[in-house]
Amino acid sequence: MKAYLVGGAVRDELLKLPVKDRDWVVTGATPGEMLQQGYKKVGADFPVFLHPESREEYALARTERKNGQGYHGFTVYSAPDVTLEDDLKRRDLTINAMAKATDGTLVDPFNGQQDLDARLLRHVSDAFAEDPLRILRTARFAARLQPMGFKVADQTMTLMKNMVAAGEVEHLVPERVWQEVQRALHENEPGTFFKVLQDCGALNALIPELEPAESLADGLNALRCSHQRDLPTEARLAALLSPLASLEPGTAEHRARSLKAPNECIAMARLVSDAVSALTAAKPLEADTLLKLLNDSDAWRKPDRFQVLLGTLACVLPSPSLANLDQLRHAYEQSASVNPQSLMAEGYAGKELGEAIQRERKHRIQLAIDRAKGNA
């Protein structure tokens, strides 16, 4: 039996990037022999094991063949006669299909090293077309490695276009799509992920509202800003989807939901979209509008989330509306200190107490607006 370091670890080592986790492929062994040597089985569908000490993943060399549509239609074959090259051949990109023997020899049957040097993301074989998730993975590697000069190889882009045209994107499991989108939002150049998806036609299936060039450009600008500010996932998604605020109310929220984003992301997409509509309206801001934004975002009980909302809006709003964002911030600062205790001491309770708190908040917001007017 022989073990080889494979995939991302080999790629990242050659690129002199930090290696996160190391995966191994084992040839010439059976599951029984692995267990005998103390490895622990982890894969339910695949023969994957954990090393007894390092806890790194060791997978028996395997082949995969497509036998149906969608992500589950694969037949896995693993036996001691499956070679390392067989295993590397089922991988997505040539730069991910290299292996390193324990003596340091590079095994590179698909010229991954050459593509690394040429900064090309290239598919290993036409079997790439069997799994549409590879489109998203390729876009994500483009987003990660773009700053180093990587781009998708022309032939691979053509193949991805053909896959999209054949309706392959429809077969993606939404949960897997979200997993890739979520990761992409935190890559070095998140916008590149969505540009690659647009180039191959997949964006139209996943976020059709961003298909118009101007919408995509606005979304990507906002996304870049949220990335530079190191804002969390929900802010990045809401920034990307912010151009949807000009469409039917609820569109951004609906899109976040159909991408299977978590609740926090759906909520932020809605809050940002509503705030954009309210803060970019032509008429002067009213206390009621600001109070409603504060109430809807539950700023009182979720101050951290409210700060994320403010940060996202700073990335999203057109510059003429940034004064309105300051107003929202002031409105919060003035009204957050309304003290229920002192109102209770005045004898308010129950429903009346709630109303008194709202009245007092609105009053303070109005004062802040008047002061801002006076200063203007």
202 or 225, CB closer to ligand ATP?
Answer: 202
Per partner kind, with CB cut-offs from 5 to 8 A, the member of Mg ion, ligand ATP, none near residue 16 is none
Residue 131 touches which of ligand ATP, Mg ion, none (Cβ within 5-8 Å per kind) = ligand ATP
H/E stretch holding 116 reads helix 112-118
For 153, which DSSP code?
Answer: -
Rounded distance between C-alpha atoms, residue 367 and residue 376, angstroms: 14
Residue at token pair 């549509």: 69
Q: Which residues of 57-75 are buried (b: 16+ CB within 10 A; e: fewer)?
A: bbbbbbbbeeeeeeeeebe
| Residue of closest CB approach to Mg ion | 8
Question: Which residue in 147, 140, 64 sits closest to 96, CA to CA?
Answer: 140
**Shortest distance (Å) from residue 106 CB to ligand ATP:** 15
Residues 98 and 73: their CA atoms lie apart, in Å, by 25
Q: In terms of CB distance, is 8 or 250 closer to Mg ion?
A: 8
Based on CB atoms, which residue is closest to Mg ion, 131 or 253?
Answer: 131
Q: Which does 197 bind (CB under 5 to 8 A by kind): ligand ATP, Mg ion, none?
A: none
State the binding partner of 209 from Mg ion, ligand ATP, none, CB within 5 to 8 A by kind.
none
Give start and end residues of each alpha helix (H) in 94-210. 112-118, 133-145, 154-165, 174-184, 190-200, 203-206
Residue nearest ligand ATP, CB atom distance? 8
List interacting residues with ligand ATP (CB under 6 A). Answer: 7-8, 20, 23, 91-92, 96-97, 131, 133-134, 137
Identity of the residue, 20 or 283, whose beta carbon is nearer to ligand ATP in the bound complex? 20
Whether residue 187 contacts residue 144, with contact meaning beta carbons closer than 8 Å, is answered with yes
Nearer to ligand ATP, 171 or 229 (CB): 171
Integer-rounded Cα Rg, in Å, for the chain is: 26
Q: Which of 317, 226, 306, 315 is nearest to 271 (CA)?
A: 306
Candidates 3, 8, 13, 307; binder of Mg ion (CB under 5 A) is 8
109 part of the interface to Mg ion, by CB under 5 A = no
Q: Which of residues 179-198 bind Mg ion (CB under 5 A)?
A: none
CA separation for the pair 79, 87 (Å, rounded): 11
Q: Shortest distance, CB of residue 283 to Mg ion, whole angstroms?
A: 52
Q: Which does 134 bind (CB under 5 to 8 A by kind): ligand ATP, Mg ion, none?
A: ligand ATP
Closest to ligand ATP by CB, 91 vs 236, is 91
Contacts of 70 (CB under 8 A, 6+ apart): 171, 173
Identity of residue 107: V
Contact positions vs Mg ion (CB under 5 A): 8
